[in-house]
């Protein structure tokens, strides 16, 4: 073995020990008795079927839609990942997460940190974390949704199923849909097109009807402009194409390192119909783009209700 290879070997041994310890603790639980049939239930999810605790107490979530859903259900996770777009947990959730430990980023959860928390349930998404499933399952029962933001209600439902709160989530989603319809009518959404824009370091992105924010806007009765939407219902484009922002109303956010882009485009777009009509609104990036879930959707509806007035 070379000297250069020793740190990697030590890290491998540390991860293996952490996972083995967590698995032993999870198997033992409290006391020496094994969990009886009444202590677990089977959840069907993207990776198959998994027996999970009926009432999990130490949940770790490793994708943002599951974090939003868990908090909406009144459950504080012991650990959660943070989005690469934020320095920490989303601001609109932070006051509910004072006891939650960061376990890496959504794209690179840290196995050692997850294992150290001794979770009794882990929730993530197949599209992001499929290669980690075996490792995570060695720590605690692990449940995965299929997608991430493109089907956020599926994430909300699988999270609720994992923690045995399906009926409660059904109620929350029904209430959200009813409020979206009511507020949409209030602000004159039917017959109005709306563009959703996220400024980025070297251009901007338009969001279509199958994205998280686009689906919430569509549920209110707005139409998104007809585009050749690409993968994940988005279009990436460059600064000079700002005329593509052609909705009657525009909501825009500023992503990481995008201040210069936002300043350039907003300095040129005065002739766009929405801008000329005073219907272009800056909103929080972490709510519209990162805070994917029932609570984030509620805040999008709040923004629309606060900012949009019916067209004369």
Take residue 241 and report the two structure tokens written for it.
Answer: 């194409």
pLDDT at residue 15 above 80? Answer: no
Same domain? 302 vs 186: yes
Domain of 277 in residue numbering reads as 182-307
Within-domain flag for 12: no
Same domain? 188 vs 100: no
pLDDT at residue 33 above 70? Answer: no
Q: What is the CATH number of the domain that holds 123?
A: 3.40.50.1980
Query: Which residues make Cβ contacts (< 8 Å) with residue 258, sequence separation at least 6?
Result: 198, 199, 200, 201
pLDDT at 61: 97
Same domain? 160 vs 188: no
pTM of the predicted model as reported, rounded to 2 decimal places: 0.84
Same domain? 196 vs 145: no
**231 confidence band (pLDDT: 50, 70, 90):** confident
Within-domain flag for 13: no
Question: How far is Cα 4 from Cα 8, in angstroms, rounded to an integer?
Answer: 8
Q: 93 burial class (0-12, 13-18, 19+ CB within 10 angstroms)? A: buried
pLDDT tens-digit readout, 161-200: 999 999 999 999 999 999 999 999 999 999 999 999 999 9
Say how many domains are in the chain: 2
pLDDT at residue 16 above 90? Answer: no
**128 confidence band (pLDDT: 50, 70, 90):** confident
pLDDT at residue 311 above 90? Answer: no
Within-domain flag for 268: yes
pLDDT at 17: 44
pLDDT tens-digit readout, 59-109: 999 998 999 999 999 999 999 999 865 568 988 999 999 999 999 998 899
Name the average pLDDT for the chain: 87
Looking at residues 147-160, what average pLDDT do you find?
84
Last residue of a domain, one of 164, 194, 212: 164
């Amino acid at each position: 073995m070379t000297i250069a290879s020793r740190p990697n070997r030590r890290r491998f041994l540390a991860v293996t020990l952490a996972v083995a310890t967590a698995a032993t603790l999870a198997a033992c639980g409290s006391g020496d008795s094994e969990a009886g049939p009444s202590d677990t239930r089977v959840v069907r999810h993207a990776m198959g079927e998994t027996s999970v605790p009926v009432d999990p107490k130490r949940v770790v979530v490793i994708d943002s839609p599951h974090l939003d859903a868990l908090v909406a259900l009144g459950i504080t996770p012991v650990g959660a990942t943070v989005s690469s777009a934020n320095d920490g947990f989303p601001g609109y959730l932070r006051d509910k997460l004072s006891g939650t430990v960061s376990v890496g980023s959504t794209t690179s959860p840290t196995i050692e940190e997850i294992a150290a928390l001794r979770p009794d349930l882990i929730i993530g998404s197949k599209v992001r974390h499929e290669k980690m499933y075996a490792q995570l399952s060695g720590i605690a029962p692990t449940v995965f949704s299929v997608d991430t933001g493109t089907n956020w209600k599926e994430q909300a439902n699988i999270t609720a199923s994992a923690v045995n709160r399906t009926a409660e989530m059904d109620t929350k989603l029904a209430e959200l849909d009813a409020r979206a319809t009511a507020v949409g009518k209030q602000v004159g959404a039917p017959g109005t097109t709306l563009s959703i824009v996220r400024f980025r370091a070297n251009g901007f992105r338009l969001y279509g009807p199958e994205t998280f924010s686009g689906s919430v806007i569509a549920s209110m009765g707005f139409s998104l402009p007809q585009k050749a939407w690409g993968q994940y219902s988005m279009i990436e484009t460059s600064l000079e194409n700002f005329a593509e922002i052609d909705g009657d109303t525009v909501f825009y956010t500023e992503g990481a390192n995008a201040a210069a882009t936002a300043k350039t485009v907003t300095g040129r777009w005065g002739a766009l119909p929405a801008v000329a009509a005073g219907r272009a609104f800056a909103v929080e990036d972490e709510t519209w783009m990162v805070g994917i879930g029932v609570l984030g959707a509620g805040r999008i509806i709040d923004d629309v209700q606060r900012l949009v007035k019916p067209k004369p």
